[in-house]
Chains A and B, each alone.
Chain A
């Protein structure tokens, strides 16, 4: 809204300009005799149409300013309807009386001109009927003698609107009473049309914007999720590993070299995650082994690892980096919090028709870690991949252990 005043002005000028032209052509085609033959009338017509153009444009512009100021777009429907009616009335009155009084003040009023013309006609008619300077206007309606005079006076009044009062002074009485109402209702209709277009435009615009906002938001959220899943390797882990490796360069160069290989493997596979939907378990296990080797380098005797992998499961397809995430969480929330460390145990097996992948660690379950990003993303990924046929649970089990368990169909 804020950015398009140019477009708004173009619409305003074209709209009201078009209306003016329409008016003009109406006069040209249907009332040409009256308005084009007399130069005076034509000039007045142009003037009054121009004044009207200015007032309509100005009044609707003020209406727009007020609407913008009160922020109508957020109003409830019933309030908008009231606003619509009040807006149309007020703006219509302003436009109508504004144009009318401007015409009067500047002496360009066509009505005023017609009145003057009519007066001339009235005097001329009086003359033609030979009634000038006679008190015909005093004729009594009920006196048969006066009936001619009376009907003459009535005729003049009917034709021109002018008549003489009892003192003989010319008076005017509008003969087409309906015309005023016509004009004002017509103005209202015009303004209502304008406001309708304005409001519909803005409603559509807002809907389009809302839709756009929603789409952008959705896309951002998706991108963000993907990125976070992609960069599952925690920077904390990377820098800690690098620090350990630096210490090992002097102490145990051979171990330092293997550690660099292990770290490279993890970084490489974390970069490839996005490309694959699933990987064979054997591949995922390679990464997890490298990861655990690096963590063992850091935690030394505090971290013990046990693997209980059924050979047959090695070809099972699993989402990449999922086991890695579980192991990482097990270390972060389990081992690293315990002064004497603990054991990580990985179990992979078939159970009836299902494949089970279990990570156990020493420690107690903190309730809040359940809502952590790792758990949520694991759950979401499983849901997405297996269409709800997979299952993921974290619980505390006997002997002060925390177990995360994934159960998924063997084939999916």
Chain B
């Protein structure tokens, strides 16, 4: 069963989509929201498998809403013709539907979600801790991504923001490193020092460093120093 939330500022648009989703017995609409703030509330309280999301909404856009979520659910964007949004979708290979939605395309999009979901439901874990397979939504100016945590090499603290290193990109997200550390799975992510959290699977080389610290080479070429205190912890973990 796919638990779905619809987020769109137009009541008629929501009701039309709801009516269309009635055709799919394995889809259950568990909530609706008319703007981004309501959307965040509903997502956090109802924990849906999938959201249908409009881009242009009063107050905050759909993209802005996603960046505020700790962990992004599956998203299918739904929008009326909008050149800029379509460009964003195509560049970032996001799932999107155009209003008025074509039933066939809706069915295809749902099939895609179900396939993805099966892979990821296997590793479904209790809420609170983000697993490797969880994705976060990252926006950097015009560009945006859904990033799986397993693809992230490094979080670097920049004031109240954190820089996320993945692939060739390093956009900023509005999250403090401490908040991130609490939510990240410590089996995969390690706080190397005050400024960095690294993905343990992305370590290429380990070298001893000054003062009993360590120097880690990451796959992306970044060199991260592990403070002395954390180095002890690191060695303990690794020896297990």
Contacts and interface: CB of A to CB of B under 8 A. Distances in A.
Given A250-B19, A339-B58, A244 B81 contact: no
Given A246-B100, A337-B59, A338-B58, A238 B12 contact: no
A247 B13 contact: yes
B35 A243 contact: no
Interface in B94-148: 98-101
A339 B10 contact: no
Nearest to B85: A236
Nearest to A241: B80
A64 B10 CA distance: 69
B123 to A, nearest CB: 37
Looking at chain B's contact residues, the main secondary structure is: loop
B59 A339 contact: yes
A299 B82 CA distance: 18
B47 interface: no
B15 interface: yes
Contacts of B99: 239-240, 242-243
Interface string B27-65: 000000011000000000000000000001011000000
A36 B9 CA distance: 102
A236 B9 CA distance: 15
Contacts, number: 62
B59 A251 contact: no
Contact of B13 (A235, A236, A238, A244): A244
Nearest to A252: B12
Contact of A247 (B19, B35, B81): B19
Given A247-B19, A337-B58, A236 B12 contact: no
Interface string A223-247: 0000000000001111110111011
A114 interface: no
Interface string A289-330: 000000001111000000000000000000000000000000
13 contacts: A236-B81, A240-B99, A243-B10, A243-B101, A244-B16, A246-B100, A251-B15, A297-B12, A298-B10, A299-B10, A336-B56, A339-B34, A339-B59
Interface of A: 235-240, 242-244, 246-248, 250-251, 297-300, 336-339, 341
Interface of B: 9-13, 15-16, 19, 34-35, 56, 58-59, 80-82, 98-101
Given A235-B80, A236-B56, A244-B13, 16 more contacts: A236-B82, A239-B99, A242-B100, A243-B12, A243-B80, A243-B100, A244-B10, A244-B12, A247-B19, A250-B19, A298-B13, A336-B56, A337-B58, A338-B58, A339-B34, A341-B58
